[in-house]
C-alpha cells in the first residue's frame, strides 16, 4: 500500500514497495493553479532515482543528487510524477549488527549478544526485528533495551528458535540515528556431545520513520562455538564431584513451576521437569563411576 508523508509540504509524496521489493515514490504538486519547480529530500538517499514515463512506461533520467538525497523537477499544476529507486540503495543504508561477548562458551553457561544499527539514513522511531537461533545448541533467556529512550515493547519466542522484538522510541530526541547498540539478548548454551557452531541470525529487520515510512535493513549474524560439557558438572570445573552434588541438593524439590527454574534446570539430569532423588542418585553414580 502507499504510505503518504507530510501533507503540509509543497508536494505530497507517497512510498510503495512492490512484491519484488522494488521501491517507488509518487510525488504530486499540491498547487492546482501554478506550475512549480520543487526539490524534496529522499530519506534513504538511494544510489539513483529514475522517473517512470507517463507515455512509454520506461525509466528515464532525473535531476537527482545522490550526495544529498535531493530530487528536483518541474511540476505542472496538480501534476504527479512516479519515480523508482535504485534497488541497491536499500542495502547500502540501515545496516544491522549482532555482536557476542564471547566467541566460545561452555555448556550451561550464559552469554550475551547485542543487536544494533549503523549507517541509519533516517530517524528510526519503530522497529520490528526477527531473529533465529539453533534451539539444539542454545536457549533464549531474556532481552532488554540498552538504549535510553527506546522501549522493548514485546518479545515473542517459540520452541523452533524464532525470536521477534518490537521496539519504539519514546518521542522526539529518542529516535535512532547513525549508529547505536539497541538490545541486549541473553542466551544459555545447552549441553552438546561435541563442540558445535551455533549461529544466531537476523531474518528480518523492518524500520519505520516519523512519517510511518518503512525500510528494510541489511541483515547480519553471529556464530558462537558451544563446547561440549560433562553431564552433572554443575559448577563447570570440568569434573563431577560432591561439589556438584551439593548444588543439586540445594535445589532439591524444584520443578518447572519454580521461578528460578531456568537457572537451576541443568540439575535435572533425567529431564523429567523436576529435581528429585532420581537426579541425586544419578549424580552419585557419576561420582563413584
Q: What is the pLDDT along the chain (289 residues), one digit of tens a residue?
A: 444 444 556 777 787 888 777 888 888 888 888 898 888 777 667 778 899 998 888 888 888 887 777 888 899 999 999 999 875 544 456 889 999 988 888 877 789 999 999 888 788 999 999 999 999 999 999 999 999 999 999 999 999 999 999 999 999 999 998 889 999 999 988 888 788 999 999 999 999 998 888 888 889 999 999 987 777 888 878 889 999 999 999 999 999 899 988 788 888 888 788 999 999 999 999 999 7
CA distances (Å), origin 220, targets 150, 184, 204, 217:
21, 15, 10, 9
**Topology of domain 93-227, per CATH?**
Immunoglobulin-like (2.60.40)
CA 152 to chain centre: 12
Matching CATH topology for 3-89 and 242-288? no
- Say what the pLDDT of residue 121 is: 75
Q: Which sequence spans correspond to the domains of the chain? A: 3-89, 93-227, 242-288
What is the DSSP-derived secondary structure letter of residue 265? G
CATH architecture for residues 3-89:
Sandwich (2.60)
CATH class of 242-288: mainly alpha
- Say what the pLDDT of residue 4 is: 44
Total residue count of the chain as it appears in this document = 289
Closest CA to 25 of 34, 40, 13: 13
- Say what the pLDDT of residue 185 is: 97
Amino acid at each position: 500500500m502507499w504510505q503518504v508523508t507530510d501533507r503540509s509540504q509543497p508536494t505530497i509524496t507517497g512510498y510503495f514497495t512492490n512484491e519484488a521489493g522494488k521501491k517507488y515514490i509518487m510525488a504530486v504538486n499540491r498547487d492546482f493553479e501554478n506550475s512549480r519547480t520543487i526539490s524534496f529530500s529522499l530519506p534513504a538517499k538511494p544510489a539513483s532515482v529514475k522517473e517512470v514515463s507517463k507515455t512509454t512506461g520506461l525509466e528515464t533520467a532525473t535531476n537527482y543528487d545522490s550526495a544529498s538525497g535531493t530530487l528536483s523537477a518541474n511540476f505542472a499544476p496538480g501534476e504527479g510524477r512516479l519515480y523508482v529507486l535504485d534497488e541497491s540503495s536499500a542495502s547500502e543504508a540501515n545496516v544491522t549488527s549482532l555482536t557476542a561477548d564471547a566467541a566460545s562458551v561452555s555448556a550451561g553457561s550464559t552469554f550475551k549478544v547485542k543487536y544494533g544499527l549503523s549507517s541509519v539514513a533516517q530517524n528510526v522511531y519503530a522497529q520490528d526485528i526477527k531473529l533465529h537461533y539453533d534451539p539444539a545448541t542454545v536457549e533464549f533467556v531474556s532481552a532488554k533495551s540498552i538504549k535510553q529512550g527506546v522501549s522493548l515493547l514485546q518479545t515473542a519466542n517459540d520452541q523452533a528458535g524464532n525470536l521477534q522484538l518490537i521496539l519504539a522510541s519514546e518521542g522526539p530526541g529518542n529516535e535512532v540515528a547513525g549508529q547505536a547498540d539497541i538490545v541486549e539478548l541473553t542466551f544459555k548454551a545447552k549441553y552438546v556431545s561435541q563442540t558445535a557452531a551455533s549461529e544466531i541470525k537476523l531474518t528480518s529487520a523492518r524500520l519505520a520513520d516519523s512519517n510511518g515510512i518503512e525500510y528494510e535493513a541489511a541483515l547480519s549474524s553471529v556464530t558462537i562455538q558451544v563446547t561440549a560439557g560433562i553431564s552433572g558438572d554443575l559448577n563447570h570445573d570440568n569434573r563431577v564431584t560432591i561439589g556438584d552434588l551439593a548444588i543439586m541438593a540445594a535445589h532439591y524439590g524444584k520443578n518447572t513451576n519454580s521461578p528460578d527454574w531456568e537457572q537451576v534446570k541443568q540439575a535435572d539430569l533425567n529431564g523429567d521437569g523436576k529435581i528429585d532423588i532420581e537426579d541425586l542418585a544419578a549424580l552419585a553414580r557419576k561420582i563413584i563411576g
